[in-house]
Structure 1
């Protein structure tokens, strides 16, 4: 009999997870898969649980939480035969949305048994994996500030973004992409997108694909404050490429140098990185359950 381990982050997002174990057990009753359930207790615990499941030969590991929890679990599954399932329970749910997974708990559970396994790419930033997006500049500063906010959700994230925007100062970056000559540019945001969005349907790279062996590097230059509303609308309507202040490149590798060490984000989780950052692609790195087309 096949085995699946469901790893639940009890503190992710805002929705209750009290009825989730029973609903999962009911969904797997009619299958040939034996279900096990574990709860995370601290940062890094999800990775340990998933790694043990891979070593024990589990066919499936189900991540139940936000993008940070999913990133931890997915790291443990890289280049293994174990397939990742996702029930989105975070604030943004970027990877789940990019895969076309339902946000409804009931439908997400149904997809675990009715969906199909696909193989997607992964990216590395200074050796650390990300599956959705990497960012430096304004989005990273917002991510770091949002991590300290006690209340989760889109409205809280929007409020944090506005507060950070008021005093934010763009930086100068040196960017080398693949084998091309480096460029120097001032940027409001530099984002590397394996998936097409940050989360909450904010599409930073509308044409990005998780199965093409490349990531989209998006450079958004500083813009007048009067254009903020327009850029926000473009971000949420898949029209960022229409903006005159942004440039997008589909590449396999980049080296970015900035003025000093500072914060970045990987799948929405803030980290402190050196001023030199290497981005590279790991094609066809992990198996994931997605809805059947």
Structure 2
């Protein structure tokens, strides 16, 4: 069970942050800025049902919840109980535009779309699915809930409905 996993830039930041003695938002922000200037897109092949496409992307976020650390939102429509994963693909673009494109995403200005060929040309893709396969062609780093994980050449990610019961007072 996880709230958010990511492949690429955000995972690289998580890996670098985990090796630092000092924790906190300042250290995380510093690592993000350092990595931003060095960041290069990674190559992926993404498959959803019968639709596949190749992309050069800075990162891919797979969200089951709409918030993570410090109340940060990358997938504003994500819900723990809708049986769907919210996928955000931040594709290769001019780095000067990147912060503004991400800001537009976290503010909820990018709407969910059905994944079709025309949509794959946008800077940021935002769609939902219950299952996807990602081929990690350049061995991009990976994280689960901000914790660095060993990466893989291929990820198969599925929602398993009704498998987790949460008891709350």
TM-score range, shorter chain: 0.7 to 0.9
1:117-156 matched pairs, under 5 angstroms:
130-156=1-27
TM-score, scaled relative to structure 2: 0.84
Output the aligned Cα RMSD.
2.1
Name stretches of at least 5 consecutive residues in structure 1 with no aligned partner. Answer: 1-129
Whether the 8 Å CA contact 1:231–1:240 is kept in 2: the answer is: no
Whether the 8 Å CA contact 1:262–1:272 is kept in 2: the answer is: no
1:261 Cα offset (Å): 3.4
Number of the residue aligned with 2:118:
none
Whether the 8 Å CA contact 1:202–1:235 is kept in 2: the answer is: no
Name stretches of at least 5 consecutive residues in structure 2 with no aligned partner. Answer: 113-121
Report SS of the residue matched to 1:261. Answer: coil
Q: Distance in 1 between matches of 2:102 and 2:133?
A: 28
Question: Which among 34, 59, 65 is matched to residue 163 of structure 1?
Answer: 34
Number of the residue aligned with 2:153:
275
Q: Distance in 1 between matches of 2:5 and 2:53?
A: 19
Question: Which among 86, 93, 101 is matched to residue 223 of structure 1?
Answer: 93
How many residues align? The count is: 160
Larger relative contact order (Cα-Cα within 8 Å, sequence gap ≥ 6): 2
Q: Distance in 1 between matches of 2:133 and 2:41?
A: 19
Q: Distance in 1 between matches of 2:8 and 2:161?
A: 26
Q: Distance in 2 between matches of 1:210 and 1:282?
A: 12
Q: Is residue 81 of structure 2 the alignment partner of residue 203 of structure 1?
A: no
1:241 Cα offset (Å): 4.3
Report SS of the residue matched to 1:142. Answer: helix
Number of the residue aligned with 1:287:
165
Question: Which among 51, 56, 59 is matched to residue 186 of structure 1?
Answer: 56
Larger Rg: 1
TM-score, scaled relative to structure 1: 0.50
Whether the 8 Å CA contact 2:59–2:89 is kept in 1: the answer is: yes
Structure holding more helix per residue: 1
Number of the residue aligned with 1:255:
133
Alpha-carbon deviations, 1:93-149, whole Å to 9, x = none?
xxxxxxxxxxxxxxxxxxxxxxxxxxxxxxxxxxxxx42101001011111011111
